[in-house]
Amino acid sequence: MKTRLTKTGWLFLWGAVLLYLASLTSQSSLLILLVGIFAGCAATNLVTARRIGREVRIGAPMSECIPEGGRLLQSWRVTAPLKIAAGFLEVTQKDAVEPLFRIPQIPAGTVINTVPTRFFKQRGAYPHDHLRLTSSFPFGLFCCSIPLSLPGEILVVPAIYPAECPPASGFEPMLGGKFKGQRRSESGAEFAGIRPFRPGDPVKQIHWKSSSKGTGLMVKTFDEELSGRIGFILDCDPGSHSSEFDNTVRAAGSLMFAALDKGHHVELVCMIDPETVSITPPFADGEEILRGLARLQPKVGSMSKEHLEMAGSRLSNKTSICLVLTRLTPEIIEVLGGWIGKRRRVSVYAPENTHMEGLPRGVNVAWFGKDRITDRT
Amino acid sequence: MKSARNQFILLGIICQGLTWDGYAVAAASVGLWMLSLRLARIAFLIPQAFEPVALVGGCLAGYWLGTLPGQTSHFFIGHGITCLQALRAMRPLNSREKLFSLVAACVQLGVGCTVILDFRFVFVILAAVFLIPRSLVELQRESFLTSAPEKAPSPSPPLSWAAYASIFFTMIVVFVGFPRAAIGSPLQNRRNPGASEGSLVDSILDPTRSGLAQSGKTIFQIEGKNLGLLRSFALVDFDGTRWFPDTRASLKGLRFVPTNDLPKLEHRRVRVKEVAFLGRVLPTDGPVSFLTGKFFRRPLQNFHGIIECDSMWNTANNVYEFWLNPQPHTDLISQGLKSRLTQHPEVSPRLRAWLDARIDGTTSPIQQASKLEAYFRENFTYDIGAPVLKRLNTLEEFLFDQRRGHCERYASALALLLRMQGIPTRIVVGYLANSQSWFSGWHNIRFKDAHAWTEAFFPDVGWVQLDATPRSRDPSTGIEVRDFVDALDLAWFMNVVSFDGAMQRDFFSGAAQLAERSGAWISQHRTDSTTVLLAVLGAIVVGWTFVSSRNRVPRQESATRSDSDLRASHYYGQMLQILHRSGVSRMPSQTPRELQETIDAHYPAWAGNTAPLTKSFCETRYGGRSLSGSEEAVLRTALARLKETAATKPGRSGPGSPEVGALDKSC
C-alpha cells in the first residue's frame, strides 16, 4: 500500500510549518492548537484511507468486450465491510490517466454496483491484474492506494467503420453465397427455372405445378451461389507515428468485416507471424477476428521481403490478396510485382498521404485514415 | 450558509474582527459576510477584476485605521482578506479558489490564536475543531464530483464523532508534545497601560469617589505561603490634608542573589490581569532577592522598597515571580529624610493631651506605636462611606468627632501621631491578600482589597508595619462563583496560554517521575500488579474479540459471498450467451432449473455441461455458498466444452431450431 500527501496535504503541511514559525514570532502557543487540528485531520485521514484501502473489495466482470471509444456496460461491485462510511474511491488502471470509476461515498457496511465511466479510446487488452484502488477519504490530505489483482480483462476491439469490400477471387459454390454463378444448382435462394426430371433427383425437388401440365415431371433449379476468397496480409510495422498502426488495424478490421458481410471467405496473415493463416468462413460473426486484432501489437522489422513472400505463399493460390500497410517500401513493390506476374488479384491499402508510385499495373490502390477508406482507384 | 466552508470563513472573519477593540468590527464583518451571501443568492455580481482592488483597499484601510489610538495595524492584511472573502462569496468559485478561501480563513484563525486569548478562544477552537474537518470533507467532495463525469447531488459523507474525538485528542497531544523551542510567553498585546481605570492611590485616598473601590474585579492573583501586605506606593509628604508619594526618592537596581539560592527562599508568583491599574509598580510583600517577568522592562527599587519599572505593557499573560529576602539589610535613614518623615501639622493642646493619655505608661517607641495601633483597632469603626473630613484640622475631627472611616484615615492618623512622637513614618498603599481561592489555592487580589497602612522606622529594628484599620464588619463570605471563574481563568492562562518550553519540560519530567514511581510501586507489589495487569490485558482481549466477532466476521463472510456470487453469475451469463448463439434462449419467466430441465429434455448433448453451471449458480446465488477455486476450474472446463458442442451443432441459428420458449409452450 502506497501512501502519499496530496496537493492539499502539502499545502496544509506548509501551512502548519508557517503557523509554527508564527507561534515563535508571535509567542502564542495557541497557534499550536491550530497545528494540532491539522495534524488530527491528517492522522484521521491517514488511518481511514489506509483502512478503506485494506478492507474495501472490488468485484469485476471476468471479461467484457467493447469497441474503441466505448464505455463498459457491465457493473462492478464495490463492497465496503466497514463500520464507518467510506468514500472518495478511485479505481485506476495501470498507466491510465482517467480513472475507471470513482465513488464519492459508500455507506457503512454496504455493497454498491457501479458501471465504470472511463472511455476506452485505444484498442487493446486491459487486464484487471494491474488495477489500483485509491482513497483520500475523508479530508483529501493523504491518498492511499493499493494494487488490485483481479481476474479477468477488458478487451477493447478496433472500431469498425463502413468500408467497401476489396475485390475477391477464387469464387466457389457456397450455400448462401451472395454472388450468382452461371450454372444452376438444386438448392439456393434465387429460383432460376425448371428442367426435366432425371433419375436420382430428389422427390422434393419436383416442381409440381409445371409437372401437372402433362409435359412430364419437372424439377426446380436455382441460381448457383458463389463465395469468393480474400486473403488479408496485415503489416505489423509500427509506422511513422503512434496512431498509424492503430489506423491500419482499424482499416483491416473494417475491410474484413465488409468481406464477411459480402459472403467471402476471409484469410488473415499478420506479419508478426507470417506462417500462420487464420480462416474465417462467410457470415461468421467475426468476433475472433476482432479479438485477435485487439491484442495485436506492432513489431519493428516485421514487414520484410522474405516474410511478405512467405505470407503470400501461405494463402491459397486462388485467393485475392489484400495488403493493408503501415508504409509502402520498394521491397513491397517488388513482391507485389511478383504476385501480379503470377496473375493474382492484389489490392493495396496504405495510410493517407502515402505516395503509391512505382506500383505494378493491375494493383488496386486505396488510402485509409482514422475512420474511413478513401479514394479507391 | 449551510456550507461548512462558509461557516469556517465566517469564523475566520469573526477572529479577524476581534483584532479590533470591542465587538463592533467583528459584528460589522459578520454583517458584511451575510450581506454578501444574500447578494449572491439574488445573483448580484461585481466584476472579478474588482477583487484585487478590494484586497488592497481592505489592507490599506486596515493599516490606516490601525494607526488610531488604542488600535493596531499589525493585522492589516487580514482585513484585506476579509474584504476579498466577502466579495468572493458573491460568485461561484472553482476548487482552487475554494481551497484558497479555506487557507485564508485558516490565516485569520491564526490571527485569532494570537489575539483572542481569554475564554472566547475556547469557543473559537471548538468551532475550528468542528468546522475545519467538515470544510475539508466538503472541499474534497466537491472537487471529486467536479472531476467525476456524473455530478450526483449526494450529501457530504458524514464524519463520525470518533473522527472529531480523534482530531481533538491529536490536537491536545500535539499541543502538549510539540517542541516549543523559542516560544516563551504569549503575544505582546497592543494595549498600553492607561489611566482610564483610575490609579490605586486615588482609590485608596478617596474610595467613595472611585467606583472601583468596592469592585470585585480581580487585579492580580498571587501564589505563595505566608503572604504579607503587598506594597505598591509609599506616601511620605503630608500637606495638612493629603499625602503624596516620595518624588525625591532615588531608584536603584535590584541586587539579585545567585539562582542556586532561590529554592531556599520564599517564592511568590503573580499573574496580573489589570496592568493599567498597577501604574508601573510591581506589588511585593517584602524585600525582593530575585525577580523575573516578561511584561515590564528595567525594574528599579526606591528607598522605600517599592519596585517601579521603566515601562510596562499588557501581554496575554502577565506573570512575574519574585523571591523574598529573609534577612534584609536595614538602611539607616539620613537626617534630611528623617526630618521629612517626622513632619506633621502643629499639635493642639487637646490632641497632645489625647495622645499622652493613649501612650501613658510606655516609654519605648515600639510600644507606643503598638499601643496606638491597638487603640484604633479596638475603639474605632471601619466605614467606607464616612463623611468627608473638614479641610482644617482633619486629624482632630477624625479622632474626636467621627471616629470611623476607611483604611487611609487610620494609616494617616497613626502616621501623624507617631510623627508627633518623633518616630519617622510613612504610609504604604497596597493590597491585602485575604481571599484565597478554594479552587486554585491562589489569592485573588481584587479592587476592594486595596489597602493602606503605616510603616514606622525604629533604629534598632528597622521598618515595622502597623495596620491600625479596624476589621471590616462585612467580611467576604465563603466560596463565591467569581472565585470559581477566576480559578478557571487562572488555570486556562497558566496551563494553556502560557504553556511554554519550561512548562513543557516540567510536564514531561513530572510524567517521567510518575512513571518512575509507578515502576517502583509495581516492583514493590509485584504479585498484585501482575494480577491487575493480567486482568486488564484479559479484559482488553475479551473486549476486542467480542467487538471483532460482532462486527467484522459477518461482514467478511458477506463480502466473500458477494464475490463468489459475482463469479458464478458471470459463468452462468456466459453459458446463456452460448446457448443464445445456438438458438436457445431463456425466457424471462423461466427459472434456471426450468431451463436446465428443458435442455435435459431437448438437448441432451449439452445437458452434461450446463448442469454444473446451473447448479453452482443456484447454490451460490440463492444458497449463499462461496465458490472454491477447484469448482471454478470445473465451471471453466464445462463452459469450454459447451462452446465446442454448441458450435458443431448443425443449423444452430437457423429458422428451424426451436426456442426454449416455444418448447415450453408445446410442453
Residue A176 lies in a domain: no
In this structure, chain B runs to a length of 667
Residue A327 lies in a domain: yes
Residue B541 lies in a domain: no
The C-alpha atoms of residue A163 and residue A233 are separated, in whole angstroms, by 17
C-alpha cell at B199: 490609579
C-alpha cell at B262: 532561590
Q: Which regions of B303-346 does DSSP assign to beta strands (E)?
A: 307-312, 318-324
Q: Do A191 and A279 fall within a single domain?
A: no
Q: Do A123 and A20 fall within a single domain?
A: yes
Q: Which residue has the cell 509567542?
A: A27
CATH code assigned at B482: 3.10.620.30
The C-alpha atoms of residue A261 and residue A238 are separated, in whole angstroms, by 29
The C-alpha atoms of residue B486 and residue B473 are separated, in whole angstroms, by 25
| Bridge partners (DSSP) listed for residue B296 | B312
Residue B105, pLDDT score = 95
The C-alpha atoms of residue B113 and residue B125 are separated, in whole angstroms, by 9
Q: What is the three-class DSSP state of A350?
A: strand
C-alpha cell at B445: 487580589
The C-alpha atoms of residue B95 and residue A197 are separated, in whole angstroms, by 86
- Interface contact A87-B109, CB threshold 8 A: no
Residue A35 lies in a domain: yes
Report chain B residues whose CB lies below 8 A from the CB of A104.
Answer: 141, 144-145, 148, 152, 154, 157
C-alpha cell at B209: 469617589
CATH code assigned at A307: 3.40.50.410
The C-alpha atoms of residue B282 and residue B292 are separated, in whole angstroms, by 11
Profile chain B (667 residues) by mean pLDDT over runs of 10 residues: 88 91 87 86 74 89 81 83 89 88 93 86 94 92 67 60 93 90 51 47 58 72 89 87 81 82 89 84 90 88 88 80 83 83 87 88 88 90 77 80 86 91 91 82 86 90 89 63 83 83 87 90 78 88 79 45 74 87 81 88 87 87 76 88 75 39 36
- Interface contact B129-A37, CB threshold 8 A: yes
- Interface contact B114-A44, CB threshold 8 A: no
Q: Do A193 and A284 fall within a single domain?
A: no
Q: Residue A235: pLDDT above 60?
A: yes
Question: Scanning every residue of chain A, which has its alpha carbon at the shortest distance from the alpha carbon of B135?
Answer: A139
Q: Do A149 and A65 fall within a single domain?
A: yes
DSSP assignments along B90-146, one per residue: TS---HHHHHHHHHHHHHHHHHHHHH--STHHHHHHHHHHHHHHHHHHHHHHHHHHH
Partner residue opposite A117 with nearest CB, options B149, B163, B188: B149
> Model confidence at A218, in pLDDT bands (50, 70, 90)?
very high
The identity of residue A137, as a single letter, is F
C-alpha cell at A165: 469490400
Q: Do A215 and A267 fall within a single domain?
A: no
Q: Give yes or no for a contact between A325 and A270, defined as CB atoms under 8 angstroms apart.
A: no
Question: Scanning every residue of chain B, which has its alpha carbon at the shortest distance from the alpha carbon of A40?
Answer: B167
Q: Which residue has the cell 490485558?
A: B537
The C-alpha atoms of residue B390 and residue B402 are separated, in whole angstroms, by 11
Residue A32 lies in a domain: yes
Q: Do A364 and A236 fall within a single domain?
A: yes
Best mutation target, A30, A78, A134, A135, to test chain B (most B CBs within 10 A): A30
Which residues 12-41 in chain A show a CB within 8 A of chain B? Answer: 15, 19-20, 22-24, 26-41
Report chain B residues whose CB lies below 8 A from the CB of A28.
Answer: 113-114, 117, 183, 186-187, 316, 497
The C-alpha atoms of residue B69 and residue B547 are separated, in whole angstroms, by 63
- Interface contact A32-B114, CB threshold 8 A: no
Question: Scanning every residue of chain A, which has its alpha carbon at the shortest distance from the alpha carbon of B121?
Answer: A30
Q: Do B478 and B568 fall within a single domain?
A: no
The domain tally of chain A equals 3
- For the segment A52-64, the average pLDDT, to the nearest whole number, is 90
CA distances from B107 to A27, A38, B102, B501 (A): 16, 13, 9, 24
Domain end point (choices B458, B492, B526)? B492
Q: Give yes or no for a contact between A177 and A227, defined as CB atoms under 8 angstroms apart.
A: yes
The C-alpha atoms of residue B586 and residue B577 are separated, in whole angstroms, by 10
Q: Residue A185: pLDDT above 90?
A: no
CA torsion angle B415 B421 B422 B428 (round to 10): -10
Q: Do A364 and A260 fall within a single domain?
A: yes
Of the two residues A24 and A337, the one the predictor is more confident about is A337
Best mutation target, A13, A37, A47, to test chain B (most B CBs within 10 A): A37
State the Cα angle at A146 between B98 and A138, rounded to 5°: 30
Question: Scanning every residue of chain A, which has its alpha carbon at the shortest distance from the alpha carbon of B158?
Answer: A85
| Bridge partners (DSSP) listed for residue A121 | none
The C-alpha atoms of residue B577 and residue B593 are separated, in whole angstroms, by 17
The C-alpha atoms of residue A255 and residue B624 are separated, in whole angstroms, by 48
Residues A254-291 have pLDDT tens digits of 999 999 988 899 999 999 998 889 999 887 888 889 99
Give the gap in angstroms from C-alpha A273 to the nearest C-alpha of chain B.
Answer: 26
Closest CA to B33 of B8, B61, B60, B53: B8
The C-alpha atoms of residue B127 and residue B200 are separated, in whole angstroms, by 40
Q: Do B204 and B143 fall within a single domain?
A: no
Of the two residues B186 and A250, the one the predictor is more confident about is A250
Closest CA to A308 of A237, A206, A224: A237
Residue A364 lies in a domain: yes
Q: Do A236 and A217 fall within a single domain?
A: no
Partner residue opposite A57 with nearest CB, options B99, B113, B559: B559
Q: Do B217 and B86 fall within a single domain?
A: no
Residues A205-215 have pLDDT tens digits of 999 999 998 88
The C-alpha atoms of residue A268 and residue A234 are separated, in whole angstroms, by 7
Residue B323, pLDDT score = 92
Contacts of residue B2, defined as CB under 8 A and 6 or more positions apart, other chains included, come to none
- Interface contact A30-B136, CB threshold 8 A: no
Omega prior to A138 cis, within 30 of 0: yes
**CA within 13 Å, CB half, B262:** 13
Q: Do A47 and A152 fall within a single domain?
A: yes
How many other C-beta atoms can be found within 10 angstroms of the C-beta atom of residue A7? 12
Residue B515 lies in a domain: no
Residue A321, pLDDT score = 95
Q: Do B398 and B486 fall within a single domain?
A: yes
Q: Which residue has the cell 492573583?
A: B221
Q: Do A301 and A326 fall within a single domain?
A: yes
Q: Is residue A138 packed enough to be buried (19+ CB in 10 Å), middle (13-18) or exposed (0-12)? A: buried
The identity of residue A257, as a single letter, is F
Q: Give yes or no for a contact between B599 and B607, defined as CB atoms under 8 angstroms apart.
A: yes
State the Cα angle at B252 between B203 and B262, rounded to 5°: 90
C-alpha cell at B293: 517577568
CATH code assigned at A23: 2.60.40
The C-alpha atoms of residue B94 and residue A40 are separated, in whole angstroms, by 26
Q: Do A93 and A37 fall within a single domain?
A: yes
Sign of CA dihedral B343, B344, B349, B355: negative
Residue A24, pLDDT score = 78
Residue B555 lies in a domain: no
Partner residue opposite A140 with nearest CB, options B140, B173, B180: B140
Best mutation target, B111, B150, B175, to test chain A (most A CBs within 10 A): B175
Residue B15 lies in a domain: yes
Q: Residue A61: pLDDT above 50?
A: yes
Domain end point (choices B434, B459, B492)? B492
How many beta-carbon pairs under 8 angstroms link A with B?
185
Residue A324, pLDDT score = 94
The C-alpha atoms of residue A335 and residue A303 are separated, in whole angstroms, by 11
| Residue-range definition of the domain harbouring residue A279 | 227-374
Q: Which regions of A80-217 does DSSP assign to beta strands (E)?
A: 86-93, 101-106, 111-114, 119-120, 124-127, 131-135, 142-148, 153-157, 169-173, 179-185, 191-196
- Interface contact A33-B125, CB threshold 8 A: yes
Q: Is residue B534 packed enough to be buried (19+ CB in 10 Å), middle (13-18) or exposed (0-12)? A: exposed
Strand B425-431: give its sheet, edge to edge.
Answer: B243-245, B230-238, B425-431, B450-458, B462-466
The domain tally of chain B equals 3
Q: Do A266 and A337 fall within a single domain?
A: yes
Residue B223 lies in a domain: yes
Q: Give yes or no for a contact between A56 and A80, defined as CB atoms under 8 angstroms apart.
A: yes
Residue B234 lies in a domain: yes
| Residue-range definition of the domain harbouring residue B631 | 561-651+658-666
Q: What is the three-class DSSP state of A373?
A: strand
Q: Which ipTM score applies to this complex?
A: 0.76
Q: Give yes or no for a contact between A276 and A267, defined as CB atoms under 8 angstroms apart.
A: no
Of the two residues B362 and A230, the one the predictor is more confident about is A230
Residue B298 lies in a domain: yes
Residue B149, pLDDT score = 47
Best mutation target, B19, B122, B137, B636, to test chain A (most A CBs within 10 A): B137
Q: Which residue has the cell 523571591?
A: B323
Residues B495-547 have pLDDT tens digits of 888 787 888 888 899 999 999 998 888 888 777 777 888 899 999 999 888 87
Domain end point (choices A226, A251, A282)? A226
Domain end point (choices A157, A173, A206)? A157
Report the share of chain A in percent with pLDDT over 90. Answer: 54
Mean pLDDT of chain A: 90
